[in-house]
Amino acid sequence: MVRRMTATREATAVATAHSAQGSDGRRLDIGAWAYFEGKLVPFADANVSIATHSFNYGTAIFEGIRGYRQADGHVALLFALEHYQRLLRNGKLLRTSIPETAEELVEVTREMLRRNEAAEDLYIRPLLYKSAQSIRLQLTGLDDRIAIFAFPLGDYVATEGLRVSLSAWQRVNDNAVPARGKITGSYVNACLAVEDAHAGGYGEALLLTSEGHVAEASSANIFIVNGRQIATPPTSDDVLPGITRDAIMTVARDHGYDVVERKVDRTELYVADEIFLSGTGVQIAAIASIDDRPIGSGDGFPVTTSLQQAYFKAVRGLDPRYSHWLTRV
């Protein structure tokens, strides 16, 4: 095990769980251990200065990784390596440079969760950030660091019957701040949209591109179902190339659906048979209405439900076809 994955015996005695607020306002019990500045430390010691560049300018990249309790009681990470590979790849947008490899970060995470005695469904948040104490507008010549923490998490949003609104806020353009990068500063765009949606009594917001095409939800990709065809906007429409998005497309094709990536018009949403969201946090969530227009015939969400069942079977380790998606803690 590399040196940066170690922690002192003295630190063990003071590592305790901490709390934060989840998306629904409920308390989240954050694990006692975090990875910070090259080593595992008590979560309370994983702090940055208010002069940190990423705190001032949003110059950080983040990921979200799910861990699912398996049938034997152990936790397995979903697409752990793929998430860390994307984190490091996206770091090129901010000209970052760190010593850790994606494979080492997977092992760091596994060790952190063992120390946290993870035994339930959880969410891991890695951050690649500009750690220099600087207020200069620059990307090069600044120190970069990795931070990782975790907390238990069930459903991020309702997985059935989600009420959604179309946002007046436009999806941030790839030539402004690329959605594909998962850059922390760009998520103000998502916060503005979803805050308005919540104020109006909706559970989520959908954003359009500058050309008026459907992009995605505040923190999830979108799929529309018509018969046996499932369509999703292309990544060229200011869409995050979601890892869960790819997984759902694989599962859908394995179940005989015709999955296509194409531009989606706003009005298509109102006449679709079904619509659902996908993402690490969201998982698969069926949409019941958009702008208070009911979706489908009112007979439920048969396609979405079948994909949900197949997906949850896969992430729980119950379908050997997808066992390579999982990394046991």
Tokens found for residue 223: 């799929």
Burial of 65 (0-12, 13-18, 19+ CB in 10 A): buried
* Cα–Cα distance, 257 to 238 (Å, whole number): 25
3-class state of residue 258 by DSSP = strand
In the chain, which residue ranges form alpha helices assigned H by DSSP? 9-12, 53-57, 80-90, 102-115, 188-199, 243-254, 266-271, 302-315
The active-site residue out of 39, 182, 263, 313 is 182
Q: Is 182 considered catalytic here?
A: yes
Burial of 8 (0-12, 13-18, 19+ CB in 10 A): exposed
For residue 21, which phi and psi values (nearest 5 degrees)?
-105, 130
DSSP state of 265: B
| SS3 per residue for 170-192 | ECCCCCCCCHHHCEHHHHHHHHH
Q: To 10 degrees, what angle do helices 243-254 and 80-90 make?
A: 140
* Cα–Cα distance, 173 to 68 (Å, whole number): 34
* Cα–Cα distance, 259 to 225 (Å, whole number): 9
If you count them, how many residues does the chain have?
Answer: 329
Positions annotated as catalytic residues are 182
